[in-house]
Structures are given as structure tokens and as C-alpha cells.
Amino acid sequence: MNIGRAAASMALVLLAAMLGILGTGLIFTAIADREIGALVWGLPLALGGLYWCGRALAQSQRSARRRRALR
């Protein structure tokens, strides 16, 4: 059961990272080509990806700290 949760969590983090990269590319396109539509889509994607990856990183760090404290 733990392996399934870990795989699902990893897949979600990879999806969030890809969305963040896509959002960053759209923001760059919006700035370079002055396309407001790209900014409207890019900003939420980049911020959502950053939020989700940061959340997963914090959870991982808490888990590692807990495991170290139990040793």
C-alpha cells in the first residue's frame, strides 16, 4: 500500500513540475511577444506547479526529520 501511495505522489509531483515548466514558458512567451493570453494561462500554471512541488518538498523534509529522530 505504501508503494502505491509513493508512486501516486511522485506522479503528481512530476505533473506539477511539468505544469510549472509549461507555465514558465508561457510567461516568457507573454513577456517576449506581448501576448496577454499567454500570461493569463502561464501565471496560474507556474504558481500552481511551484506550490505543489514546494508542498511535496516540505512533506518529504518533515518525513526525513521524523525518521532521523526515531533512530
Residue among 11, 13, 1 at smallest CA distance from 58? 13
pLDDT for 29-66, tens place per residue?
A: 999 988 888 889 999 999 999 999 999 889 889 988 99
pLDDT recorded at residue 46: 93
C-alpha to C-alpha distance for 3 and 23, rounded to whole angstroms: 30
